[in-house]
Amino acid sequence: MLGRDCRRSFFCKPAKKLGKRDSVPADSGHTLKLSSGTPQRNLVETILEFRLQQKLDTAKTIEFTEEALNSRNLHAVEILAESYPHVVADVMQMDTFDSNLVLESPSLIFQIKNHLDPLIEKKLMRILIPRMIKDTESFFHTIDRSQYPIRTSYNPGKKWNTEKTIERFLSSGDRTFNYSHVVCEERKEKKSAVFLLIDKSHSVIQYLNFIIIASIIFSLALEKKDIGIISFDTQPTIIKSMKDRGTTSTQIVKKLIHLSSGGKTDIHSALVKARKELSNVITKKKTLILISDLLATSGRDFLPILRTFDDVRIIITPRRQTLQLTKPLLGHLRKMNNVKLFLLPENERLILNMLEKVLYN
C-alpha cells in the first residue's frame, strides 16, 4: 500500500470539486455523503482481522466500504479493494461517483479501474491523465541532475575535478601520479537511449499498481530522450517503439494505466524484443530498465541474453516470497558488471527518488 505519510504527494493533491454538470448518474438510488473525517485505525484493524480469519465476504465488504467512504478512510478502502475490487467499485458508483476521493489514491485507482462503468472510467481518466503528467513533470524538474555528472577521459585543456583526482590517485596505490588518475566531469547529459520493460504477469498482480506508477514516472521523465516501452507476460507487447516519434505523453500514460495483470512470465522473449528495438538506435549509451519480480515461469533462461546489454537497471518488486524464490538468481545478477539492482518502493515519492538513482548513478 501507499505510505500513509505520502497521501498528498505526487498526483495525490486535492482535485477541484466537480460541478453538477460533471456528476455521473448511476442506477442505484443510494447516495454516499462523504465527510472530511480523519482515517480511523480501528476500522483498518477490524478489516485486517476479518480478512485474516477469512470472514471478509461480499456482504461485509459492502458494509466496511460504505463505512470507510463515509469517514474518508482511504487506507481501509484500499485494503478492501485488494480482496474485492469489483465490490468496492460498485459501492463507489452508487448514485454519485466522487472522483475527488479516488484521485487522492493512485493505488485505489489501479485496483478498481477494470470494474468501473466505462463512462465513469472515461471521465476519471480525463481528469487523471493531465494531472499525472503535470505533477510528474513538476517533480522531475526538482531532481538536481548536476549531482550526477558524467565522467570522461582526460584530454588536454579539460577541467579537472581536483578532489576526485586526488581520491583516485590515493586509492590506486601508485607511487607516482599520471594522467590515468585525472577525473574530468561534464555537466551535460550524453545522448542516450532507454528501453523500459514492464512485467505485467500474474505473479506481480499485488504490485502492479506501483509498477504502473513507476513506469508512468519513467516514461514522462524520459519523453525528450529516445525511449521505448514494452509490457510483457507470456508475450511482449510494444507500448512505444524506439522508432515512434509521434506518440504523445497522454497516449503513453493511457496505455500504461490500462495494463492488467495475467499470464506467465517470459523475460527472455521480452529481452529479445528490446534488443532488436535498441539495435535501431545510434547512440553511445543504451540503458535497459527492467521492472519485474524476476520469477520467470516460461521461456528460455534470460541470463545469457541479459549479458549482451551494455547497461541494465533491474527494479525488483518487494514480494518477500518471490525474493526468496529468486535468491540464487539475484546472486548471479549481483556478480554481473553490466547490472545494477534496485527495490521498487511502495510509495510515489520514494519511487521518484529511486528514479534519480536508476538514471544517474
Q: Which residue has the higher pLDDT, 6 or 224?
A: 224
pLDDT of residue 308: 94
The domain boundary residue, chosen from 126, 158, 186: 186
CATH code, domain carrying 349: 3.40.50.410
Same domain, 87 and 228: no
Q: Which residue has the higher pLDDT, 311 or 140?
A: 311
Same domain, 175 and 311: no
* Position 256, amino acid: L
pLDDT of residue 314: 95
Strands 184-186 and 192-199: unpaired
Residue 345 lies in a domain: yes
The domain boundary residue, chosen from 131, 160, 186: 186
Q: Is the pLDDT of residue 167 over 90?
A: no
Residue 145 lies in a domain: no
- In this prediction, residue 224 has a pLDDT band, given cuts at 50, 70 and 90, of low
CB 348 within 8 A of CB 213: yes
Query: Of 32-36, 89-93, 344-348, where does mean pLDDT reach its minimum?
Result: 32-36
pLDDT of residue 190: 55
Same domain, 212 and 330: yes
Residue 227 lies in a domain: yes
Residue 290 lies in a domain: yes
Q: What is the pTM of this model?
A: 0.67
Residue 29 lies in a domain: yes
DSSP lists the bridge partners of residue 247 as none
Residue 144 lies in a domain: no
Cell 483498518 found at: 44
Same domain, 101 and 119: yes
- In this prediction, residue 27 has a pLDDT band, given cuts at 50, 70 and 90, of very low
Q: What percent of the chain has pLDDT over 70?
A: 76
Same domain, 301 and 177: no
Q: What is the pLDDT of residues 70-126, one digit of tens each?
A: 888 888 888 898 888 899 988 888 765 566 677 777 678 777 888 888 888 888 888
Same domain, 237 and 342: yes
Q: Which residue has the higher pLDDT, 77 or 31?
A: 77
Same domain, 264 and 287: yes
What cell does 42 get?
A: 480501528
Distances (CA, A) of 222 to 3, 194, 195, 333: 25, 8, 10, 25
What cell does 48 get?
A: 485486517
Same domain, 181 and 224: no
Domain that holds residue 59: 4-139
- In this prediction, residue 166 has a pLDDT band, given cuts at 50, 70 and 90, of confident
Structurally, how many domains does the chain consist of?
3
Same domain, 249 and 315: yes
CA distance 279 to 242: 10
Residue 11 lies in a domain: yes
Same domain, 63 and 30: yes
Total residues found in the chain within this entry? 361
Same domain, 123 and 224: no
Q: Is the pLDDT of residue 52 over 50?
A: yes
Residue 266 lies in a domain: yes
Q: What is the pLDDT of residues 276-332, one digit of tens each?
A: 999 888 876 889 999 999 988 888 999 999 999 999 999 998 776 677 778 888 889
Same domain, 94 and 196: no
